[in-house]
Amino acid sequence: MQMDNGLPPKKVPGFCSFRYGLSFLVHCCNVIITAQRACLNLTMVVMVNSTDPHGLPNTSTKKLLDNIKNPVYNWSPDIQGIILSSTSYGVIIIQVPVGYFSGIYSTKKMIGFALCLSSVLSLLIPPAAGIGVAWVIVCRAVQGAAQGIVGTAQFEIYVKWAPPLERGRLTSMSTSGFLLGPFIVLLVTGVICESLGWPMVFYIFGACGCAVCLLWFVLFYDDPKDHPCISISEKEYITSSLVQQVSSSRQPLPIKAMLKSLPVWAISIGSFTFFWSHNIMTLYTPMFINSMLHVNIKENGFLSSLPYLFAWICGNLAGQLSDFFLTRNILSVIAVRKLFTAAGFLLPAIFGVCLPYLSSSFYSIVIFLILAGATGSFCLGGVFINGLDIAPRYFGFIKACSTLTGMIGGLIASTLTGLILKQDPESAWFKTFILMAAINVTGLIFYLIVAKAEIQDWAKEKQHTRL
């Protein structure tokens, strides 16, 4: 790989290098925590899907064995909603504290112990359900906080591990795990529930998390300079490419400067916009498929999983293309960020607005639904890593704050969409996608106007000199 941006001209390890291996390890962590979070959405159907009395004398032996394999609980819809949403509250509460402490404490320990905690809690959910619903809610809330630590603290890794011209590839490879996790869950959870029982879903994903946790503690180091397995040439390449951006000294957070910084607001508004459309496409795709295509539950699950698979592909493609444009000097950094942000905002809006008009064509609906849900991941090469351009030393904190803003947008979007569907069923989908398009276009315009890609003055290392 040839580098012509002032970096050493020596040959550097490529795609099979250690830094890409670590990015894939983070990818696996993201797949695991997303699977642990999303699997309850499907197992809940089996956990409460029974109105038959239990323990009666005429109950067949087969049904008794099935009740042992698939315990059923008398949880009301309200209780189910609290259980499903408890994880989100844990994630939201932990965002800002993790963003602050990830720049101070060891990222290896934060992610490792949080992944271990999330996995152990996944193993405890089946027995917790047997004890009482309150224990399930507590487990899910704490698990959400642990998953929030993993999801936020990992962005601090790329401050020391990602050369500027490889940020798109490395971050998109790892972050795309958030997209692959739900796809895997939608594919295998139903099969596991039918063959082994729903508790095995939590045991399998929990055990996988524990295994990945062990690999994490063995393979990951906070700084490439300290890693015993990385080659000398790769270590020199990474450290020399970041010599002017990474400092060992920790400086106080410039909160006032961040609040006044338009580029930071561009990232936050961009995150709000992304999560708005992402939550709509994630939460309401099965409902849209049911209302428009009238397929059975298995077909619905399969069709609902396809946008995640193609989003995973688009996200990795965005990372590869963004770095290709930079290494070949085809586009500037800010042009690349704006290009992929525009693609991630405009394409879902266009395909989404078209969906209500395709009611007569099965294949057209499926194709446009996949494209509307998948193309948003082009943002992985744009606004998602823009904070690493403008303030590398504070990237973890900026990412945490922007993610918090985005999750608030996602909660508003899901709530408002539910109200629209309830009050006006006939034109609900048209109004939903028009509103999503309006939010996307407004957020994109703001981002295109004020976004930057240069390190901001408040993010530079202060030189204390006396005249």
The tokens of 256 are what?
């006032």
The tokens of 330 are what?
């085809």
The tokens of 432 are what?
């939903």
Q: Which pLDDT value is given to residue 188?
A: 86
Asked whether 201 and 414 are in contact (CB, 8 A), the reply is no
Q: Which pLDDT value is given to residue 467?
A: 39
Q: What mean pLDDT is reported for the chain?
A: 85
Q: Which pLDDT value is given to residue 418?
A: 81
Task: Say whether 254-459 and 16-50+69-245 share the same fold.
Answer: yes
- Counting residues of the chain whose pLDDT is more than 70, the rounded percentage is 88
The tokens of 408 are what?
């608030």
Architecture field, domain 254-459? Up-down Bundle (1.20)
The crossing angle, in degrees rounded to 10, of helices 77-101 and 395-423 is: 160
Q: Which pLDDT value is given to residue 49?
A: 58
Give the CB-side neighbour count of residue 208, counting CA atoms within 13 A: 17
The tokens of 26 are what?
């983070």
Please report which confidence band the pLDDT of residue 245 belongs to, taking 50, 70 and 90 as the band edges. low
CA 432 to each of CA 96, 288, 344, 450: distance values in angstroms, whole numbers, following the listed order: 30, 11, 18, 28
- Helix ranges (DSSP H) in 231-261: 232-241, 255-260
CA distance 2 to 353: 43
Q: pLDDT higher for 250 or 414?
A: 414
CB atoms within 10 A of CB 130: 12
The DSSP code for 380 is: G
Please report which confidence band the pLDDT of residue 68 belongs to, taking 50, 70 and 90 as the band edges. low
Q: What is the mean pLDDT of residues 249-259?
A: 81
CB atoms within 10 A of CB 386: 31
Asked whether 148 and 99 are in contact (CB, 8 A), the reply is no
CB atoms within 10 A of CB 121: 24
| Amino acid at the residue 162 | A
Q: What is the mean pLDDT of residues 106-124?
A: 94
Most confident of the ranges 45-49, 237-241, 335-339, 423-427: 335-339
CA distance 315 to 168: 10
Q: Which pLDDT value is given to residue 156?
A: 86
pLDDT digits (tens, 9 = 90+) for 221-235: 888 888 888 888 888
Least confident residue range of 81-95, 212-226, 371-385, 392-406 = 81-95
CATH number of the domain located at residue range(s) 16-50+69-245 in this protein:
1.20.1250.20
pLDDT at residue 15 is higher than 90 = no
The sign one gets for the Cα dihedral 121, 127, 131, 133 is positive
Asked whether 231 and 76 are in contact (CB, 8 A), the reply is no
CA distance 403 to 335: 23
Tell me the domain boundaries of the chain. Answer: 16-50+69-245, 254-459
Go through 280-316 and write b for each residue having 16 or more CB atoms within 10 A of its CB, e for each that does not. bbbebbbbbbeebeeeeeeebbebbbbbbbbbbebbb
Please report which confidence band the pLDDT of residue 463 belongs to, taking 50, 70 and 90 as the band edges. low
Q: Determine the Cα angle at 156 with ends 332 and 175, to 5°.
A: 70
pLDDT at residue 4 is higher than 60 = no
Long-range contacts from 49-58, C-beta under 8 angstroms, 24+ separation: none
CB atoms within 10 A of CB 60: 8
